[in-house]
A and B are shown apart, each in its own frame.
Chain A
């Protein structure tokens, strides 16, 4: 770091004395990371909001991002690296590992540090004490319950073994001692910095001024603009819509749109004020509302009505069916932008190696990043290498290439390594969001409560660029009925452009919004028929042999009914408890809600292959080449379990190579809950292929002696490497104009119960319990399945009750609230295993399904407690109170 010399600050870090010659106002987090290379201390916000940077300062928790280095003269500091080296730290880490308390692992250092402070003072804390002591650290993946259990030592125990075992995650160890390298870690010391200059306006004309003059005045800096992009200045998910410019040349279409990149040594790059840049904006009127955008001038010439994509499913005659229905209900709902809020903001670095470029970055889709970078730089695919870092959370938000083309461009034109880390506000402003949806729906049933028809119309605000908008528009109508038999359906979803942040992929691709409407209608119909809400759903649940609204006959693994039935005992108990509490009166009203969901695994009616390889080298090494990036959900562990089981060896036998596009075949992206099902099947096929090659027709048992493969008990080392290759592309057919076809090869099913209390005077909601039944086909690793369920529920809670991204207003984790410790109540997981014949060992996926049912279950419970229907989401206290007031509370 080239900064003015200051007298060194001496501090004692993990027992060692260090003298750091950095400016005293430097954040302690930066000093530890950049000055001492202790990158186990993470940076998620630089604002005290996330706690990822928590260290012990004189034994007490502190956010290292808020402490000036100058304040630490002579201070004793402990970081995760130091704590992990102590016996107490190791014991704690072991409990985290077994319980699955570290998923992506980016919050884990902060959690371990915070828990260490607590356990030193109080070795036997209560649950409440754990929540209070760790309450300053946020986690976006786990839903906190498993972390509490790990601290208390009450979590699930670790098991050895293949499919079905609670094997601790194979990539877990480095996440627990601070050595895992994420996007912002491990860049070379001489890397230049890249700062993206972004539009503060939602719509403006870009006026580039005297670039040469700026260059002359700032000889060490390089200001890259649209004209520096050698290839295609656009990227995007769909091959025919590369509409998001790497650097906007003429117009910016949302607050956060990238206009220029300033590259050079860190301090000057970060200190140039925007006013000193030769960039000006002429503000233009912005379309903030999709209803207005629908009739307005086109933002993109290829999309005349600002309709990016439309998906529809039509079946039967819903108009006639509704006219004859015994009961008909309808409603409108409105949801908000939801931010992924992965606790690791986008980060990475790139370098040019001869005529190739290598990018190290936090991503969910290395193969797609590679294509984008090649296109933007005008290079061949072979000239680009993507090396995924450990990924500190993605949830769909790291499927878009965002930073990668910029880093590659800067490294390419400067010939120097270049690094970047988006600040939290930048990450929130620039990255994609969950689509806000406006849904109008109407449904009817007969007098016995059999569903007859559904009409569904959804307008999804897709923001400034296409991103995953078409995927959302396509997926929503297919899922509009939920996992229920509805003979007459007309469902349409449109993704509409506005000058808002691009809406993209976010756990569930638009389905969680639709499920809110669908499940609310079912509650009302159940009431209209005088049926119990759970029984109403059981009566209508899809079962094997049923036809879905797209005309697909479900041949196997349709576990909706078993999920609902599994919930019945708890449903009755929780309802009785709520009734007893309500009988006592008071401001709190108790309620219990229920919601079901289904989720098509993999892409909608489109090919989405995966390829896996397993190699037995001539030296006996068994190498698993797995291109599916693990974003914390645990795919690496699950795929290793599947491959090892199919081959007949323990997981520890596998040398695992993950993600690097130079080394691994394309497994497709980590999205659509597809890695267990699609890549899992490919991994199984690869193992079976290798197995056949090893056995070469013999009939013997394969094993592992600790070092080498064994066949019939004898060590087996091949003369030349043997390679097993597995490919799988789930069989689907494209949907026709009426939305008919086989969009997915299999579906995940689930139902969740929520018990809660509403404070009727303040409009606040206290969640008390979730019971979640998920049909996952086969739980390859129950701890990981539960981990996904917990995390999905936590995100569903956020969606339902607190999360609302407003550009320029909630661009930080202070104003944008995600659930904290104590916002996620106890969760009971019931695993339902309706085996899927296409899946590896019967398995399907669970990543997204976990979230879909949560918000509707919460609203169902609020309605049960108070009679109030939540239609404006999130149900912030002031909104809920307004609705309560209207209902006479």
Chain B
């Protein structure tokens, strides 16, 4: 079936998600490209979609007591243009370099995390911020640290009846200046070969150099692919981390 729902109400969305098993859709910037590949070799896709874009609650970005609450539906453009404390700088710099303006205007942070690509640029900055994922289903809420939310290449703990509602970021972390370094083979519209986020207190995270981005401990387990050899990634990881650390401490 290829039904399509676009509820305004979060509760209604959760019921559809649980009841119909529809796939959540936010900006569509991962879902539609995958369809293009499918169309070329397999034909068109029939899949029911639950469009989350009309749900205002998912798009908030605000200070909520001891946390910053970053709605899953916040777009890269909203993040990029928001006035935020310096700890968000790495995330904002990442936002500025995701795709072009078109993708930034519609792609969301939630979609980036749920798609769980090893090269997802949102992950290293959010790991650095010790973000927690808030998952909702009709039966309740779960909270998980981001590194337990993403399990592997395109694998998360998200259940078929859940959606990612928001990320919670400890307010004190958001005050530590940070920086982001992305390494790609061209200037715009490029998927990272490696990317790093770091803060002024010496923390660093590294992405695209292991199946899932993680805190920097000097070790990575990269694969070789069209974008770079494993050996290169190992070297580049250390280099981008050191550059991010330098930038963060200069900030």
Contacts and interface: CB of A to CB of B under 8 A. Distances in A.
The answer to whether A and B belong to the same complex is: yes
A6 B231 CA distance: 53
Contacts of B83: none
A48 interface: yes
B26 to A, nearest CB: 10
Interface string B42-60: 1110100101010000000
Interface string B64-75: 000000000000
A243 interface: no
Interface string A622-653: 00000000000000000000000000000000
Contact of A66 (B29, B43, B188, B193): B29
A821 B99 CA distance: 12
Contact of B102 (A62, A802, A806, A810): A62
Interface in B170-191: 183, 185-191
A49 B33 contact: yes
A425 B226 contact: no
Interface string A303-332: 000000000000000000000000000000
B32 A47 contact: yes
Contact of A424 (B36, B100, B190): B36
B4 A25 contact: yes
Contacts of B101: 60-61, 114, 117, 132-133, 135-136
B116 interface: no
Nearest to A806: B226
B100 A878 contact: no
B82 to A, nearest CB: 15
B193 A423 contact: no
Contacts of B46: 271
Given A62-B105, A812-B37, A877 B183 contact: yes
Interface string A98-134: 0000000000000000100100000000000001111
Interface size of B as a range: 35 or more
Contact of B100 (A51, A812, A819): A51
Contact of A812 (B2, B6, B36): B36
Contacts of A267: 44
A815 interface: yes
B143 interface: no
A809 B226 contact: yes
A66 B33 contact: yes
B203 interface: no
Interface in B86-116: 96, 99-103, 105-106
Nearest to B96: A132
A71 B36 contact: no
B15 interface: no
A274 B103 contact: no
B29 A425 contact: no
Given A114-B101, A271-B46, A819-B186, A68 B36 contact: no
B41 A137 contact: no
Given A117-B101, A135-B100, A60 B77 contact: yes
Interface string B179-222: 00001011111110100000000000000000000000000000
A218 interface: no
A23 B4 CA distance: 8
Interface string A219-239: 000000000000000000000
B6 A47 contact: no
A224 to B, nearest CB: 17
Contact of A272 (B43, B231, B240): B43
A801 B186 CA distance: 9
A62 B231 CA distance: 37
A814 interface: yes
B92 to A, nearest CB: 14
A763 B36 contact: no
B25 interface: yes
Contacts of A424: 36, 40
Contacts of A669: none
A729 interface: no
A48 B6 CA distance: 22
Contacts of B49: 25, 68
B107 to A, nearest CB: 9
A138 interface: yes
Contacts of A73: 6
A199 B42 CA distance: 11
A336 to B, nearest CB: 11
A221 B185 CA distance: 44
Contacts of A768: none
A200 B235 CA distance: 36
B102 A136 contact: yes
Contacts of A270: 39, 43-44
Interface in B8-38: 25, 27-29, 32-33, 35-37
A9 B226 CA distance: 41
A46 B32 contact: yes
A876 interface: yes
Q: Of B4, B33, B77, B183, which is in contact with the most chain A CB atoms at under 10 Å from its CB?
A: B33
Nearest to B233: A878
Contact of A49 (B4, B77, B189): B189
A60 B105 CA distance: 7
B97 to A, nearest CB: 10
Contact of B188 (A763, A801, A822): A822
Contact of A47 (B33, B77, B106, B186): B33
A425 B37 contact: yes
Interface in A162-182: none
A200 B226 CA distance: 20
Contacts of B193: 877-878
A471 interface: no
A54 B25 contact: no
Contacts of A877: 183, 185, 193, 228, 232, 236
A27 B53 CA distance: 15
Interface string A749-787: 000000000000111100000000000000000000000
Interface string A43-65: 00111110100100100111101
Given A23-B2, A136-B188, A823-B186, A68 B51 contact: yes
B226 A810 contact: yes
B229 interface: yes
Contacts of A801: 185
A274 B190 contact: no
Q: Of B46, B53, B187, B231, which is in contact with the most chain A CB atoms at under 10 Å from its CB?
A: B187
A828 to B, nearest CB: 20
Nearest to B32: A66
Nearest to A25: B4
A136 B103 contact: yes
A385 to B, nearest CB: 30
A542 B25 CA distance: 63
Interface string A387-430: 00000000000000000000000000000000000011110010
Given A25-B4, A761-B239, A273 B43 contact: yes
Contacts of B233: 878
B228 A67 contact: no
B100 A881 contact: no
A801 B2 CA distance: 42
11 contacts: A48-B103, A60-B77, A61-B101, A62-B102, A63-B106, A67-B106, A134-B100, A136-B188, A198-B41, A761-B235, A812-B33
Q: Which 5 A-B pairs have the closest CB atoms?
A: A136-B100, A822-B187, A878-B232, A135-B188, A425-B40
Given A812-B33, A878-B236, 13 more contacts: A23-B2, A47-B33, A47-B36, A48-B32, A49-B189, A131-B188, A272-B43, A761-B239, A821-B187, A877-B193, A878-B232, A881-B232, A882-B229
